[in-house]
Structure 1
Amino acid sequence: MICKVETERLIIRNFTPEDWRDLHEYFSDEQVLKFEPYKPFSEEECKEEALSRSKGDTFLAVSLKSTGKVIGNLYFSKEDFMTWELGYIFNSKYHKKGYATESVKAIMKYAFENLGTRRIIANCDPQNISSWKLLEAVNMRREGHLLQNIYFFEDENGNPLWKDTYEYGMLVDEWKTINMK
C-alpha cells in the first residue's frame, strides 16, 4: 500500500526490522501504552513486532526526516465501503511538538487524494484527552460516545474492565471543503 509519505519534518513509511530499538523506546513505556490494548513490550517482543510490522502494511513508522529516528507509528487499515481506520501512538519524548498532528494530516491527505478513500474513521478513549483533541484539531467530527463497548484487560477475577469509546469520522467531501479554504 503506502511506501512513503513526506512532510516538512517527517517521513511516514513502512516499518523495517531494524526499527525495533526505536519501537522499544515507546512500547516499553507504560504511560504511552495507557490507552492501548497491550502491556509494555520487552526488547525481544519489539524485535518480533518490528519484523511483523515490516511484513504488513497496516502499521506505518513515523520517522524524523532529519535523523531517520522512528518517533511513533500510525495504524491505517482499509475497512469496507472505501473507509480507512486511523490510529496513532507516539514516543512521549516527542509529545506536544505537533508531530502526531502533522503525520495524521499527511496520511489523511494521502488517503483522500491517492487511495480513493471516501471516509476516514478513528476511535479513542474519552479519557485520552490529547487523542480526541488531536482528532478535533484535524477537523474530524465526533460521531458518537459508546458506553462500555470494549475491554482490553480483565481484573483479578476475570471480569472485563470495560471502557468507553469516542468515535470520529471525516468524509472526503468534508476534507475537500476544509482544504479548499
Structure 2
Amino acid sequence: MTLRGEKIYLRALEPEDLSFLMALENDESVWEVSNTITPYSKFVLKQYLENAHRDIYEVKQLRLVICEIETQVGIGFIDLFDFDPKHLRVGVGIIIFSETYRGKGYASEALKLVINYAFTHLSVHQIFANITEDNTTSLSLFENAGFKNAGNKADWILSGNKFKNEFFYQLINKK
C-alpha cells in the first residue's frame, strides 16, 4: 500500500477533520509557511472539506492527513500543490501540528510515502519544496529524503519587519 508506513498512514480529508483543520489554519505561528495573513472561518473550511474530494488533475493540489497507526489520530498534514502534469512536477509541504508528535520520525515517513505516491501514481519527474533559511528542521528533513538545494530566493519572505531567504529544494526522479 503506497500510503501506509510503519508508524503512520496518509488518508484523504474527511468532514470530521474540520476542528483539526481550523486549529491549524488559524494558528498564527504557521502562517508564515502557509503564506496566510488572515484566519479562516468555519464556513470557508467546511466548503474546502466539501470539495476536498476533487481530483488533483483538476484542482492542482492534494492535502492528506498524517495519521498515527496505533491511535489513528491525525497528527499533521502533507500537501501536494502546484501540480503541473505538463512539466511533470509538484510541490510538497508538510506540518506535524503538535510538539508531542515532532521528532519521532513521522514527518520523515510521511514524506517518503508521498514521494513514492507522486513518482508512482502521478508520474512526476520532480518534487520541489520551498523552505526558509531558518527552518533547520525542515531543511534536515528534506535533505535526508534526498532533496537538493537548487537555489536561494533572497529576501523572499517578509516575517515581521525582517526579510528571510527561502531555499528552493528539488528531488528529481532519475528512473
Return the TM-score normalized by structure 2.
Answer: 0.78
1:16-165 to 2 correspondence within 5 Å? Answer: 16-39=14-37, 41=39, 44=42, 46-55=45-54, 57=56, 58-77=62-81, 78-79=83-84, 80-93=86-99, 94-151=101-158, 162-165=163-166
Deviations, residues 41-93 of structure 1 (Å, cap 9, x unaligned) = 46725444444545464222212223332211111131241111111122123
More displaced, 47-56 or 15-24? Answer: 47-56
Given the superposition, is the C-alpha separation of residues 68 and 42 from structure 1 closer, same or farther in structure 2, using an over 3 Å criterion?
farther
Contact 1:105–1:138 (8 Å) recurs in 2: yes
Distance in structure 1 (CA, Å) of the matches to 2:54 and 2:110: 21
Residue identity matched to 2:13: F
**Root mean square deviation, CA, Å:** 2.8
Shift of 1:28: 3.8
Shift of 1:26: 3.3
Question: Which consecutive residues of structure 1, in runs of 5 or more, have no partner in the other structure?
Answer: 156-160, 177-181
Distance in structure 1 (CA, Å) of the matches to 2:109 and 2:148: 18
Residue identity matched to 1:167: F
Question: Which consecutive residues of structure 2, in runs of 5 or more, have no partner in the other structure?
Answer: 57-61
Given the superposition, is the C-alpha separation of residues 24 and 55 from structure 1 closer, same or farther in structure 2, using an over 3 Å criterion?
same
Identity of aligned residues (%): 24
Given the superposition, is the C-alpha separation of residues 164 and 42 from structure 1 closer, same or farther in structure 2, using an over 3 Å criterion?
same
